[in-house]
Amino acid sequence: MTTAVPSRSGDGSAWSPASGDGSAWSSTRAFGASISAEWLKVTTVRSSYITLVVSLAAMVGVSAIVCASNVSSFDKLGLLERTVFKLTFDPAFSGVSGVFLAQLGVGVLGVLTMTSEYSSGMIRTSLAAVPRRLHLLMAKAIVYLVIALVVGLVGSFCSFLVGQSILSGAGLSTSLSAPGVPRVVIGGGLYLAVLGLLGVGLGAMIRRTAGAVAALFGLLLVLPAIAAALPSPWGPDVSRYLPNEAGSALLHLTDRTDVLAPWSGFAVFAAYAVVAMVLGSTLLLRRDA
């Protein structure tokens, strides 16, 4: 094909690598290596720890505040009203309600796993090292999903325990062994895991931090507000399918008519994250880095 070797060319012999063991490097090994590398990336940056610790603290703190305010309103009620209050009060939901603040930190960190690579230009280094682009995105997704799940489970469990100790003063608390409660506490972890994945997917789709965070907050905060403003038959019907409403179905102990059934709600929530990941993957494969 190329016969032309001009006069001053190639004075050295062609380079031969010391160890040509490329054949032993299977796709599975490469993917495993990508996962290890993504883990190293997350754990070698201080801002990851700071965000996760702040999210954890916010989760426990908000849950405690919600429980304390329930206790104080309960204390002000008369005897009869207290009985009614107890009928509708959901101690498990109050105990994990801090997820709704923690979700912002966890979601933004998920977004940043992709967008920070674009803002620094490191995406080019990453894709030069891992040219199979799906490997890169899936490795990020898996690593961050696991981190968000663990942080979410720890946060959810701590929030629940702190919340119940506050509620127990007014006799409002429940326990981990009560029916439905384990589902709620684990649900707090699952909720944040899915949210982390949603963040990664949005980050891959939008690439810019500001835009992706705006999209995330729009989905979580703005859409519910808009849905709430819709006229009566529409509002609730739309609301229950929005990401955080659907996701929070898992966090309610009692059956509610305005929320989807726990696991179907969770499935709808997870579908948002999956759609974001599919769109993100498609765009990552198609676009220039």
The site for other proteins (CB under 8 A) is made up of 1-18, 22-23, 25, 29-30, 33-34, 36-38, 40-41, 44-47, 116-117, 120-125, 127-132, 286, 288-289
Smallest gap, in angstroms, from Cβ of residue 20 to other proteins? 9
42 vs 47: CA distance, rounded Å: 9
CB of 15 to other proteins, least distance (A): 4
Least distance in angstroms from the C-beta of 178 to other proteins: 44
Tokens of 68: 């304390």
129/222 with CB nearer other proteins: 129
* Cα within 13 Å of Cα(134), Cβ side: 7
Least Å distance between CB 5 and other proteins? 7
Minimum CB separation of residue 283 from other proteins in Å reads: 12
Nearer to other proteins, 2 or 257 (CB): 2
**Smallest distance from other proteins to CB 119, Å:** 10
Nearer to other proteins, 120 or 165 (CB): 120
In angstroms, the CA 87 to CA 243 distance is: 27
- Nearer Cβ to other proteins (2/232): 2
Is 84 exposed, middle or buried (CB count within 10 Å of its CB: 0-12, 13-18, 19+)?
A: exposed
What is the biggest distance separating any 2 CA atoms in the chain, rounded to whole angstroms? 101
Q: Based on CB atoms, which residue is closest to other proteins, 112 or 205? A: 112
Specify the residue, 33 or 274, whose C-beta has the smaller distance to other proteins.
Answer: 33
Closer to other proteins by Cβ: residue 2 or 177? 2
CA pair distance 39, 285, nearest whole angstrom? 22
The nearest distance, CB 35 to other proteins, in angstroms, is 9
Task: Find all residues with CB under 8 Å of 201, minimum gap 6, and list them.
Answer: 141, 273, 274, 275, 276, 277, 278, 279, 280
DSSP-based three-state secondary structure for 26: coil
DSSP string, 174-217: --TTSTTHHHHHHHHHHHHHHHHHHHHHHHHHH-SHHHHHHHHH
- Residue 217 Cβ vs other proteins, minimum distance, rounded to whole Å: 24
Nearer to other proteins, 121 or 233 (CB): 121
User: Are 265 and 246 spatial neighbours (Cβ–Cβ below 8 Å)?
Assistant: yes
* Six-digit token string for 112: 């940043």
Rounded to whole angstroms, the Cα distance separating 2 from 27 reads 32
What contacts 38, CB < 8 A, 6 or more positions away?
A: 113, 136, 139, 140, 142, 143, 144
